[in-house]
Amino acid sequence: MNKQYRINMSRRSFLAHAASLSMTPAVLNAGLGSAGLLWTRGALAADAGTAPKRLVTIHVTNGAHPGTWHAQGTGTDFTLPQGSSPFNEEGIRERCVFFDGLNGAGGHGHHHQCVSNGQKTSLDIYAASKLSADTPYSSLHLAAFPEGALSRVNGNGIPFELHPMKVYDRMFPEPIADGGRDWKTIRRNAIFNANLKSLEEFKQKLNPVQKERVELHSDSIQAMGKRVQRAALAANGGGECTRPFWDGLVSDTALLDKESLAGAATVLRSKLSMDLIALAFKCDLTRVATFSFGHSQADVMLPFGDSWHDCQHGYRNGLKNPQGRKFFSEQMVYLMKLLADAPDSDGRSILDNTLIYLTSDMGNGSSHNNSRHPIVLAGGLVNGGQAKDMGGIFWDPIFDTVAAAIGIQLDDPDYPNFGNGAGVIDGVIKA
């Protein structure tokens, strides 16, 4: 193999060669991540023309005032009131399914039911075990308020990662030189630094010819880096994981500290978390992300100066509640736009291959009831542009619908039966 061929090896050839060495996509992605160089848009996991499915769960605690949130009308003929009005935007409305008439469970101290429905492990975590098997990170868990947990593993809550910039630095390690991040220069340390032990273990199991191949691919770190980078660029039409969206834009990082509870902190945490989810999906670091606007006490502060709890029970909550819900809706729309602008490996957008599940632990937090939970399914995996009135049934089928939409087989023996056998909701999942 001459030097020129090694540098210009195609993505398909490189992956085939790696596979012959028993090196899985997960190992490759982890090694690349440690070097600050990452495949984009599922390049390690998907052949040309295909793309992985992804799931985002967005949790707004304490529900909504039904009259200022739920769609008015059904089918494709409906209007959206103040709380959900941001979804009216062109390019967004037609990607959303708005549900009314789904009654659930949850409330103070039990808000995880909107993702677990009585199971010890929540749906997002189960989805991560299926969708993120070949990515460096199983899932992301971010929040706008620095307390609490939503997702569950065997009955135990998973704490939120509270500082999106610190999460970014962990996921995208790269030395800082002159105050910026040079994403065109490959880090000098070995691409496989994080996996040297794994490489040595592999070598013990290989025959002499295979060992020689391993050494050929590990003796020159710079050559390997150039080959992988060029293969990634060629395979993805020149796309790459570029510098963070917030470089130079965060003037007051103290707002991201745990002690900061102001409305401005909520705005910054929310925006950066959405940026981080989009960037992680683009670079295929994970395919499952969960974001919460706060624990069940609803103490998160809003940009107009009130807490979300006050918008449930405080003075003039009838006016403030839809204002708060409108803010939450705007953050989800922001994420949808980021994903819509990010090309995927099948030539479509990442949003086209993503399901966003907007949910809540209550129907109406002002009266602490579990009727008419505010639920939306959005993205390219559903038949959007419609409103459905489910007539007051228990919310079991929404869980099976979410699972089926992202490709989970409901008859899989290890499926936790999140929907208790209810099955999917007709007309929601895109064929």
Give the 3-state DSSP-derived string for 258-293, with helices as H, strands as E and coil as C: CCCCCHHHHHHHHHHHHHHHHHHHHCCCCCEEEEEC
Residues in the chain: 431
Contact 306, 320 (CB under 8 A): yes
Q: Does the pLDDT at position 249 exceed 80?
A: no
Amino acid letter for position 201: E
pLDDT tens digits for range 53-97: 999 999 999 999 999 999 999 999 999 999 999 999 999 999 999
Average pLDDT of the segment spanning 248-267: 76
Q: Does the pLDDT at position 215 exceed 80?
A: no
* Distance between CA atoms of residues 229 and 233, nearest Å: 6
DSSP class per residue in 37-85: ----TTTTT--TT----EEEEEE-TTB--GGGTS-EEEBTEEE--GGGG
CB hemisphere CA count around 352 (13 angstroms): 13
Tokens of 339: 């994903």
Sign of the CA dihedral with 17 first, then 21, 26, and 31 last: negative
pLDDT-derived band of residue 295, with 50, 70 and 90 as boundaries?
confident
Sign of the CA dihedral with 145 first, then 257, 250, and 30 last: negative
Q: For the ranges 100-109, 245-254, 383-392, which has the lowest average pLDDT? A: 245-254
* Distance between CA atoms of residues 373 and 410, nearest Å: 24
This prediction's pTM: 0.78
Q: What percent of the chain has pLDDT over 70?
A: 69
pLDDT tens digits for range 175-199: 434 444 333 332 333 233 334 445 5
